[in-house]
Amino acid sequence: MIKNLILSGGVAHDYARTSSILSDILSEIGVESEIHESLGAVEDGSLMEFNMLTLNCVLWTCSQAQVDPSWRDRWRFKLSDMARRGFSDFLDQGRGLLALHAATICFDDWPEYRKVLGAWWDWGYSGHAPLQEHPMRLRDRAHAITEGIGDFVIKDELYTNPRITDSVEPLIEAEWGGKIHPILWVRRYGKAGVCYNALGHGVEAFENDANRKLLQRGALWVTDRLGHKG
């Protein structure tokens, strides 16, 4: 049994619903998830009881000028030193991280987090295509996560133009605005396996058959249970 903590919550997304659906998706492959809406488990050390952490959330400082003032009042988030240590210790132990959609926005007051994902959301540079159907193109069809999954179309809000902080080789990419954008990649951060999947704005994305498989395989990959291909 793989134990997974889903960190859920934030503005502009129905995280209560999508985190519940995500838990069901992962349960099909033997992943037992707990959904948390606070960082208590990260700060008190109990995160170490889990094999992996999934970020289905948007938690950031809300410091950008263009952010709705009401968002700052309700959603402003600062990552504590204790939480930073908890995250770092978790990854140092080789535990897995599955980061979804708005995870690139999260924890913007912690520079090391950008190195963990290999990319980050820059409010003056990054953006997203509207919620509509978008074609996904597999760039690496031989990887264990994508093997047997063909190109597909998904209804989603397409995150684009992430700031890349390290070399990232996407397994899936998409075109928008005349540019090719990375959608899904995996990487190692020290001993830890990390998978970032830019999909997942709403329920439609979690009901897409191809993305459900990608979520399941991403979870298996970050916990070293998907074999050695890729």
From the first residue on, what is the mean pLDDT of each consecutive set of 10 residues in the chain (230 residues)? Answer: 97 96 98 97 95 98 88 91 97 98 97 97 93 97 96 97 90 97 96 98 98 98 79
The answer to whether 153 and 133 are in contact (CB under 8 A) is: yes
- In one-letter notation, the amino acid at residue 13 is H
pLDDT digits (tens, 9 = 90+) for 181-212: 999 999 999 999 999 999 999 999 999 999 99
Cα torsion angle, 65, 12, 223, 225, sign? negative
Residue identified by tokens 């170490």 is 48
For residue 50, which of 230, 219, 229, 197 has the smallest C-alpha distance? Answer: 219
pLDDT at 168: 87
Domains of the chain and any CATH numbers: 2-222 (3.40.50.880)
What pTM does this model have?
A: 0.97
pLDDT at 229: 47
pLDDT at 115: 96
Cα torsion angle, 14, 15, 17, 21, sign? positive
CA 193 to CA 116: how far, in whole Å? 10
Indicate the length of the chain as a whole number: 230
